[in-house]
A and B are shown apart, each in its own frame.
Chain A
Amino acid sequence: MLSQEFDRPSSTCLLDSPPSDHALLEELRTGNREAATLLYRKYSKRLRQLIRTKCSATLARRIEADDILQSVFHAFFKGAARGVYDVPDGEELWPLLLVIAVNKIRTQGSFHLAAKRDVRLTCGLDDGDSLEPAAIRQDSGGAPPLHKLVADEALERIPQAQREIVELRVAGYEVEEIAGMVGRSKRTVERLLQSCRSRLSTLLEESPDAHDD
């Protein structure tokens, strides 16, 4: 099922040594089913865990984590076959899969909260979270936790010096103040902040929703 869109049999043996995600993605583009299997094995457990953590109890009553997982890989394989994804050599596909999963959860949440299907109306009276207004949990501060998850993931992947600048900006410091605090030029602070914004935008825009038929 997972590799149903990859009809070409494997021409390259990928099992001799662990291939990089970059190499696997290249193989996916040529329709290599073995690459699809390896990527599924590599990321499915981690993704399933993420999905279970991020789905609210209300949404979990309507849809299985594995259904979302299948949908994530389906969208990813379809996008990969079209060549819409890329990953630098040495980096992982995890951030991309995470964003796809986050969007799938959000989409499912919206679907099941649509008026006539509102899962909140079908909950038992003993359900503690039956009136929870969102299908995806919101933290106590009201910030969307899934956006935060994506942002945190992006931040984890940037160098410490750049992360410090971003964290200071988020804390409310002005560019000039940050430049003084970290001993860099104002232009550099601006450039690194722009780079981080761009990276985050790329992660968010790589959602498969934009490519689904």
Chain B
Amino acid sequence: MPMMTEAAWNADVESRIEAFESAWQRQESVDIGSFLPSVADSLFLPVLCELVRIDMELRWSKRMPRTLEMYLQEFPQLRNDSDAIQQVAFEEFRQRL
């Protein structure tokens, strides 16, 4: 059921995202890899996708733009998820607007 999936998703993913954003408030630059679950974890790709989108937004706002291609080089696992690629591409597109 969606509610159960959402609850599980919320508990872990949101705490990682919150920690990531808090780190961004303290530092000039933050390493996404420190906030990811293990690659084998089913939440790895969803968390990676969210953190990349947020990282991209925050870097562009600080005039340190990164592109989709740069993230794909750092996290080749993203290539396995076409939906994630689309989301990050969309994020880059709207940062450029």
Contact = CB atoms under 8 A, between A and B. Distances in A.
A188 to B, nearest CB: 6
| Most chain B CB atoms below 10 A, which of A87, A159, A161, A187 | A187
A185 B58 contact: yes
A186 interface: yes
Contacts of A161: 18
A88 B1 CA distance: 9
Nearest to A161: B18
Contact of B53 (A88, A184, A187, A195): A187
B21 A184 contact: yes
B17 A88 contact: no
A184 B3 CA distance: 24
Interface in B19-44: 21, 25
Contact of A199 (B6, B17, B25, B57): B6
Nearest to A96: B3
B76 interface: no
A199 B17 CA distance: 20
A131 B16 CA distance: 55
Interface residues of B, number: 19
Contacts, number: 38
A191 B21 contact: no
Contact of A188 (B3, B10, B17, B91): B17
A195 B3 contact: no
B6 A195 contact: yes
A183 B57 contact: no
A187 B25 CA distance: 15
Interface in A107-124: none
B3 A187 contact: no
Contacts of A198: 2, 6
B3 A186 contact: no
B7 A187 contact: no
Interface of B: 1-4, 6-8, 10, 14, 17-18, 21, 25, 50, 53-54, 57-58, 91
